[in-house]
Amino acid sequence: MNLQMLMASPVTLALLAANIFISLAAFRNERLLESMLFDMARVRHKGEYHRMITSGFVHGDPMHLFMNMLALFLLGPALEITVGPAAYLGVYMASLLGGSLWTFMDHYRDMNYRALGASGAVSGVISAAAIFYPLETIYLFFALPMPFIVFTLLFVGWSAWAATTRVRDGIGHAAHLGGALTGIGLVCVIWPAHVRQSWDQIVQAVLPF
C-alpha cells in the first residue's frame, strides 16, 4: 500500500477518520464510551441493538486503536480499489455486524460481557482481501513472511480455537471469527469468479511441490 492508493480510497480514509475521532473522544468521555460499547445486558434486556454497530467505532486504549487502524490502513485501500467504494463499505459494515452477532451468540448467557473495537470489521476486510490476493506476502508479527491466504487461515483457525475454548486474553476472538467468516462468505457469494481464480493460483503455486 502506498500514499497514492490511500488517497484513492475515500471510504478507507473516512473509516480511519471516524474510528480515530470517535475513539479519541471516548477516551476522554466515559459517558460516550458507555453509550456505544457492546453490553450484553443492555442489548438483551433493553433492546439496544445499535450497540452492535456503534461498538465498532470505539476502542479500549490507544494501542487497541492503533493495531486495528494499522491493519485497515495497510489492507483497506487495496480491497476498496478492487471492489469499489460502495461494495467495500458493505463488506466492512457487514463484517462489523457479523462479528457482533457472533459475539452475541457466543456470550449470550454472560450478562456481564462487554466488548468494543473494530476488530470484527477489520477481520472481514483481511479475509476478503486474502481471497483476492492469496499469494501476496504478509509478515506475521512484522517479521515472518508467509502467503496472505496462509496467514488468514491461521488467523481464522486461531480465532475459532480461542473462541471455542474461551481463551481469556482480553481479545474479542468471537468478533474476529464472525467478522472473518462474514468477509469470506461475502466474497464467495458476490465475487465467485475471484474465488475460483484465487483457487487456481493457489493450486498452481502448490503443485510443483
Q: Determine whether 127 is an active site residue.
A: no
CA distance 136 to 138: 7
Beta bridge partners of 138: 146
Asked whether 6 and 77 are in contact (CB, 8 A), the reply is yes
* DSSP per-residue letters across 137-204: EEEETTTEEEEHHHHHHHHHHHHHHHHHTT--SS--HHHHHHHHHHHHHHHHHH-HHHHHHHHHHHHH
Annotated catalytic residue within 100, 176, 194, 198: 176
Q: Which cell is 7 given? A: 488517497
Asked if 119 is an active-site residue, the reply is yes
Three-state secondary-structure class, residue 58: coil
The residue annotated as part of the active site, out of 119, 123, 127, 198, is 119
Q: Which amino acids are annotated catalytic?
A: 119, 176
